[in-house]
Amino acid sequence: MSITQSTAEYEKWLGSQVTLVPDEIKLKHNKMAEAEFPFLRATFYRWAHLFPKHCPELYAAPRVLGVGDLHIENFGTWRDAEGRLAWGVNDFDESCFLPYTNDLVRLATSAYFALTDKSNPLNLDFKESCRAIQEGYLNRLKQPKPFVLAENNGWLRNVVLKRLADHEKKGEDDLFERFYEKYSTLSGVEGEVPADARMALNSCFPQPTPAFEIKHREAGLGSLGRQRFTAVATNWKGGIVVREAKALAPSAWLWANRGREESSAAALATKRIYFSEIVARSVRSSDPLLKVLDGWSVRRLGPDAFKVEINDLFLKPGEEEELTKKLLEAMGKELGNIHSSSGSPNSILDHLKNMSGDNQSVKWLMNGSMKIVEETREDFRDWKNSVI
């Protein structure tokens, strides 16, 4: 099946699960033709077909409640119940039970595309990148520990909040000013806002609910085309408050593998969504304002609670390799935090040892990633030609 056929079939199915926004679907199609990395991010439904077919030995690995659509830009920050800054995976739209290797290979594949994209600041040998991811994963799989950016992980805190040592920058306050300017000037939504989305937003605001306007925001690539509503109260007790609701659907993995896996077919039949379950199981200091209500994920948006994109990262000249390695290792650690409580760590460790040996070789991870890299590149070329 070609990428165009796969996309058409997936979107037909997705449209039976949630309301799609035609203009955003068209925009997504155009963005998919821009470069390989955005194409990868936008096409987890295609990945879910390719991974079992081209990596059968990895597909047979022990199962965990995994992220599914994991990539290096699926990480961000939030405030926990104590108001502390935390960091980790912040998008679980495609979560379901799948081989633990899926998340590792997808993370490494996304790192490869980012490392070979000249517009990204990351710089590290791919083998070392895979080693950093695997070492981080093993570390937290054995000893899970949440990423709280208070006393610990100062380097990561500086990265995600751009607390720069560069005095030519204007300073941290501009981050808050830019946030206010962005969200106070968003355009309004067209058409009616579904009642369940409005109720979900209402329930996640401070109570009593302040007056707010519902706006339109373009965000992400994997979920672009689904309904998304951004509620903005510009003056609640002296400042701006923002909540966002996004429509959820069952994981594309379930759709792609419904004929291959009885468990996927059963979960798909009941329209099961694993978002709340994976957040609850993961070893993390969770965001108390992240909720799933009536098929909508609702979260707080703020200048200190945002998705971290690669071009947002702070890399000092001369420190690109060191910081890239730290970032990828941290991503591997966060994945270990997520997998540790839903699968059997000992089974995963035994399986990894069989693949990597006592010296913890990353050849399996490199080989698996490169198989999907080549398939993705071929799909990208075909897609780009079809769009042009």
Residue entry with tokens 């379930």: 254
Could you tell me how many residues make up the chain?
388
Domain boundary assignment for the chain: 3-188+250-387
What number of CA atoms fall less than 13 Å from residue 367's CA on the CB side?
Answer: 11
- The pair of structure tokens assigned to 227 is 């309904």
- DSSP helix/strand/coil, 33: coil
- Write down the pLDDT at residue 220: 80
C-alpha–C-alpha distance, residues 282 and 158, integer Å: 24
CA distance linking residue 1 with residue 129, whole number of Å: 32
Give the closest residue to 256 by CA, choosing from 36, 74, 81, 43. Answer: 43
DSSP label at residue 205: S
Find tokens 């694993």 and name the residue: 274
Percent of the chain with pLDDT strictly greater than 90: 74
pLDDT recorded at residue 139 = 95
**Is the per-residue pLDDT at 268 higher than 70?**
yes
Is the confidence at residue 86, as pLDDT, over 80?
yes
Pick the closest to residue 223 from 384, 104, 74 (CA basis).
74
Average pLDDT over residues 82-110: 96
Tokens 């990351």, located at residue: 122
**Encoded tokens for 172:** 């941290």
- Give residue-wise pLDDT tens across range 335-378: 999 999 887 899 999 999 999 887 789 999 999 999 999 999 99
Residue 106 token pair: 């997808």
User: Is residue 194 helix, strand or coil?
Assistant: coil
Amino acid at 275: F
Radius of gyration of the chain (CA): 20
**Partner residues linked to 244 by β-bridges:** 230, 299
Neighbours of 164 (CB within 10 A): 15
Measured between alpha carbons, how far is residue 370 from residues 105, 112, 321 in Å? 9, 9, 21
More confident residue, 318 or 65: 65
Mean pLDDT of the chain: 90
Tell me the one-letter amino acid at 89: V
Specify burial of residue 305 (Cβ count, 10 A radius: 0-12, 13-18, 19+).
buried
CA 347 – CA 366 distance, rounded (Å): 21
Q: Which two tokens stand for residue 189?
A: 């939504």
- In this prediction the pTM is 0.93
45 confidence band (pLDDT: 50, 70, 90):
very high
pLDDT of residue 388: 67
- pLDDT tens digits, 11-20: 999 999 999 9
Report pLDDT digits (tens) over 270-328: 999 999 999 999 999 999 999 999 999 999 999 888 776 666 565 666 777 888 899 99
Neighbours of 173 (CB within 10 A): 9
Per-residue tokens: 297: 């994920």
Indicate the pLDDT class of residue 173, thresholds 50, 70 and 90. Answer: low
Q: Which residue has the higher pLDDT, 171 or 235?
A: 235
What beta strand segments (E) does 80-227 contain?
A: 85-89, 96-99, 213-215
Contact by Cβ (8 Å): 122, 385? no
Strands, E, within 248-342: which ranges?
Answer: 291-293, 296-301, 307-308
Tell me, what's the pLDDT at 17? 97
Element of type H or E holding 38: helix 36-42
Please give the pLDDT value at position 163.
46
| CA dihedral of 13, 18, 23, 25, whole degrees rounded to 10 | -40
Please count the other Cβ atoms lying within 10 Å of the Cβ belonging to residue 243.
25
Q: Where in the chain does DSSP place strands (E)?
A: 63-66, 75-79, 85-89, 96-99, 213-215, 228-236, 239-247, 291-293, 296-301, 307-308
Grade residue 44 by pLDDT with cuts at 50, 70 and 90.
very high
> What's residue 204's pLDDT?
92
- Nearest Cα residue to 101 out of 358, 378, 347, 357: 347
Q: Is the pLDDT of residue 6 over 90?
A: yes
Six token digits for residue 257: 């593998």
pLDDT on residue 373: 97
